[in-house]
């Protein structure tokens, strides 16, 4: 997954109870500098509950991994211009951002050009909507169609 010597934006998309948090926990297990915004209390370390403090930490982070649980709250409609710029100009800080969404519908279109990897689990999205939203991005729609049956722990990786 994430390499410590690069800057990355990795998106995890899946319905609840499909294994996103389990995979993220495996990813961050041996990392020292991990910051997690975790409104549901799924993780046990690196936690932040205060949004404003978390944003400040994320904007200034270096050599770190940042987990954005409930990423729709940060990167959906009305996204904070500083956070948007952070993903656009994240280079040379050696920061890996892990953004967690519960549906493809929630992934903002602007963020697609910033993504290095997508870990796609089963979602409850409407297939017609997904095909329209991701027209021309066959790798996403094909992975989505493979995951129509809800199978916890099963996912497809899309790399850019």
- pLDDT tens readout for residues 35-88: 998 887 778 766 666 788 888 888 888 889 999 998 988 888 777 788 888 887
| Confidence (pTM) | 0.90
Cβ-in-10-Å burial (0-12, 13-18, 19+) of 132 comes to: exposed
Radius of gyration in angstroms for the set of CA atoms belonging to the chain, rounded to a whole number: 15
- For residue 4, count other CB atoms closer than 10 A to its CB: 12
Q: How many CA atoms lie within 13 A of 19 on its CB side?
A: 13
Give the whole-number percent of the chain exceeding pLDDT 70.
92
Three-state DSSP at 68 gives strand
Domains of the chain as residue ranges with CATH:
8-159 (3.40.50.300)
CB 99 within 8 A of CB 11: yes
**Token duo for residue 9:** 């934006």
Say yes or no to pLDDT of 147 above 70: yes
Name the residue among 153, 103, 112, 118 with its Cα closest to residue 11: 118
Three-state DSSP at 58 gives helix
Mean pLDDT estimate for the chain:
88
Q: How many CA atoms lie within 13 A of 124 on its CB side?
A: 5
DSSP state of 5: T
Name the residue among 112, 102, 159 with its Cα closest to residue 135: 112
């Amino acid at each position: 997954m994430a390499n410590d010597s690069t800057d990355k934006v990795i998106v995890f998309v899946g319905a609840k109870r499909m294994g996103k948090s389990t995979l993220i926990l495996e990813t961050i297990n041996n990392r020292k500098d991990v910051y997690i915004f975790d409104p549901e209390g799924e993780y046990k370390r690196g936690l932040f509950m205060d949004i404003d403090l978390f944003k400040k930490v994320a904007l200034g982070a270096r050599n770190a991994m940042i987990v954005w649980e409930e990423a729709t709250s940060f990167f959906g409609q009305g996204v904070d211009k500083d956070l948007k710029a952070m993903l656009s100009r994240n280079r040379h800080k050696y920061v890996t951002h892990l953004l967690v969404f519960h549906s493809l519908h929630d992934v903002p279109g602007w963020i697609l050009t910033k993504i290095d990897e997508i870990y796609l689990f089963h979602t409850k999205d409407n297939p017609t909507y997904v095909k329209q939203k991701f027209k021309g991005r066959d790798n996403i729609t094909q992975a989505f169609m493979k995951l129509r049956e809800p199978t916890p722990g099963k996912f497809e990786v899309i790399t850019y």
